[in-house]
């Protein structure tokens, strides 16, 4: 197996210092393999977006990252901003949640597609525009020639997101980070955008990190999944393993909170009690224990480490729970 496109180890992000230091991300590990789509799931505030911002070196003011994030053999954590600028847009493309706000409203599409190409690839204007036309064609935008001279507001939301994806793809990056790319779109166009991402991944061999809280998107699109809770990865594995055999009570609760998708599955929809803790007042022990139906006394004091589910699959499937109430239940069920 080749080396992963991105390998994140013990990534920590903290803000403040001394007494008021708060750890937003508490040492996460994950790999993104070449040509795969990794889903990162979690509620807002779980640190999923922060992790990718740390990788890109786009942390908010006052936040610091430690650990490592190796992309194509190069550790991005600790690089200077000017070094990171040669990587962002060139080796990592980014797709934001809302294409209405992520595209500049007053710059023509052509400009927004080409400015980083010209910087990173040293293309001349005409060359960059030629490539931009190919990209727009590739993302199935109708009439690319005309689109180049238009402004974002002249396109529909779905089309805008296709343009944003084309921009992320422009320099043929190793990795594309897509932060909830369909959340702001109409349901009817979501599927088209997801299919586009899948196809680009397959055709270009680009790896994609898909940040989402939508488990439906995860199960449809992603090869593997990492579930974040309160700054830690609490479960990861192949999408099939995680969705069908979730081991962490939180993942399980997330799945139970999902409205039923098919008639054959008549589980009741169960909301998760309580709210996710903020990084500033995270409970001791397992961060999920106050909301966990299966929490025991040790959960309140001992932070659980990752453990493997055992050698039953080809893909490693790990989770962080001391109790593992599903060890028996999943068999019973």
Partner 1 sequence: MTATLDRAAGPAGAGPKRTATRRRPPVMRFIARRALSTSFLLVGVTAAVFAVSRFVPTDPVVANLGTEAAQDPAIVEAYREKHGLDQPLPVQYLTYLWRLLHGDLGQSIQTGQAVSADLAARVPATVELALAAMIIALLVSIPLGTVAALRRGKPSDKAVLGGTLLGMSAPSFWVGLVALYLFFFRLGWVPGGGRLSLEYVPPPSRTHLYTVDALISGDVALAMDAARHLVLPAAVLALPMIALLTRFVRSSILDVLGEDYVRNARAKGLGEPTVIVRYVLRAAAPQILTVVGLALANAFVGTLLVEQVFSWPGMGSYAYQSAIRLDFPAVMGVCLVITVAYIIINLSVDLLYGVVDPRMRVTT
Residue 116 found at the interface with partner 1 (CB under 8 A): yes
Give the one residue of 74, 104, 125, 130 binding partner 1; rule: CB under 8 A. Answer: 104
* 164 vs 276 by CB, closer to partner 1: 164
Residue 167 found at the interface with partner 1 (CB under 8 A): yes
Options 151-159, 201-209, 225-233, 302-310: segment touching partner 1 (CB under 8 A)? 151-159
Residue 107 found at the interface with partner 1 (CB under 8 A): yes
Give the one residue of 26, 48, 88, 248 binding partner 1; rule: CB under 8 A. Answer: 88
Give the one residue of 13, 103, 109, 210 binding partner 1; rule: CB under 8 A. Answer: 103
* 56 vs 194 by CB, closer to partner 1: 56
Cβ–Cβ < 8 Å for 44, 277: no
Q: What is the footprint of partner 1 within residues 45-84 (CB under 8 A)? A: 56, 58, 81, 84
DSSP 8-state assignment for residue 100: H
Query: Which contiguous run of DSSP H or E holds residue 8?
Result: strand 6-15
Instruction: Dihedral sign for Cα 86, 88, 92, 95, please.
Output: negative
Instruction: Dihedral sign for Cα 191, 225, 94, 6, please.
Output: negative
Q: Smallest distance from the beta carbon of 323 to partner 1, in angstroms?
A: 40
Rounded distance, CA 170 to CA 92, Å? 10
Rounded distance, CA 311 to CA 22, Å? 37
Options 5-13, 42-50, 97-105, 304-312: segment touching partner 1 (CB under 8 A)? 97-105
Q: Smallest distance from the beta carbon of 101 to partner 1, in angstroms?
A: 4
Q: How many CA atoms lie within 13 A of 192 on its CB side?
A: 14
Give the one residue of 23, 34, 43, 151 binding partner 1; rule: CB under 8 A. Answer: 151
Residue 198 found at the interface with partner 1 (CB under 8 A): no
Alpha carbon of 210 to those of 55, 101, 114, 206: distances in Å?
Answer: 14, 19, 24, 12
Residue 181 found at the interface with partner 1 (CB under 8 A): no
Instruction: Dihedral sign for Cα 144, 148, 153, 157, please.
Output: positive
* 14 vs 112 by CB, closer to partner 1: 112
Residue with tokens 């936040």: 63
CA angle 120, 11, 257 (to 5 degrees): 105
Rounded distance, CA 101 to CA 180, Å? 13
First vs last C-alpha separation in the chain = 35
Residue 214 found at the interface with partner 1 (CB under 8 A): no
CA 313 from centre of chain: 24
Options 94-102, 211-219, 225-233, 247-255: segment touching partner 1 (CB under 8 A)? 94-102
Residue 98 found at the interface with partner 1 (CB under 8 A): yes
Residue 256 found at the interface with partner 1 (CB under 8 A): no
Give the one residue of 105, 122, 271, 305 binding partner 1; rule: CB under 8 A. Answer: 105
Instruction: Dihedral sign for Cα 230, 234, 239, 240, please.
Output: negative
Q: Smallest distance from the beta carbon of 242 to partner 1, in angstroms?
A: 28
Instruction: Determine how many CB atoms are found less than 10 A away from the CB of residue 137.
Output: 14
Residue 87 found at the interface with partner 1 (CB under 8 A): yes
Which residues bind to partner 1, rule: CB under 8 A?
56, 58, 81, 84-90, 94, 96-98, 101-107, 115-116, 119-120, 151, 153-154, 164, 167
């Amino acid at each position: 197996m080749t080396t992963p496109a991105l390998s994140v180890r013990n990534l920590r992000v903290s803000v403040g210092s001394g007494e008021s230091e708060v750890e937003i991300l508490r040492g996460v590990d994950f790999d993104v393999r070449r040509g795969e789509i990794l889903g990162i799931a979690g509620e807002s505030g779980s640190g999923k977006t922060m992790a990718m911002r740390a990788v890109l070196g786009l942390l908010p003011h006052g936040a610091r990252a430690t650990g490592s994030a190796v992309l194509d053999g190069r550790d991005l954590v600790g690089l200077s901003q000017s070094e990171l600028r040669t990587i962002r847009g060139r080796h990592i493309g980014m797709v934001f949640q809302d294409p209405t706000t992520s595209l500049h409203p007053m710059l023509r599409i052509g400009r927004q597609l080409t400015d980083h190409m010209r910087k990173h690839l040293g293309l001349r204007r005409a060359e960059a525009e030629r490539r931009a036309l190919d990209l727009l064609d590739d993302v199935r935008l109708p009439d690319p020639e005309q689109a180049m001279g238009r402004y974002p507001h002249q396109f529909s939301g779905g089309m805008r997101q296709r343009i944003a994806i084309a921009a992320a793809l422009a320099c043929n990056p190793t990795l594309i980070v897509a932060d909830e790319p369909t959340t702001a779109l109409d349901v009817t166009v979501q599927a088209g955008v997801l299919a586009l991402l899948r196809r680009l991944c397959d055709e270009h061999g680009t790896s994609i990190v898909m940040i989402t809280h939508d488990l439906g998107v995860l199960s449809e699109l992603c090869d593997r999944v990492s579930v974040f809770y309160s700054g830690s990865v609490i479960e990861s594995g192949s999408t099939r393993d995680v969705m069908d055999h979730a081991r962490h009570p939180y993942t399980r609760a997330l799945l139970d909170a999902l409205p039923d998708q098919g008639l054959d599955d008549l589980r009741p929809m169960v909301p998760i009690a309580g709210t996710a803790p903020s990084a500033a007042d995270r409970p001791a022990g397992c961060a999920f224990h106050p909301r966990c139906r299966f929490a025991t006394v040790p959960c309140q004091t001992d932070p659980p480490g990752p453990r493997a589910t055992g050698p039953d699959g080809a893909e490693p499937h790990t989770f962080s729970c001391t109790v593992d109430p599903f060890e028996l239940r999943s068999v019973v069920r």
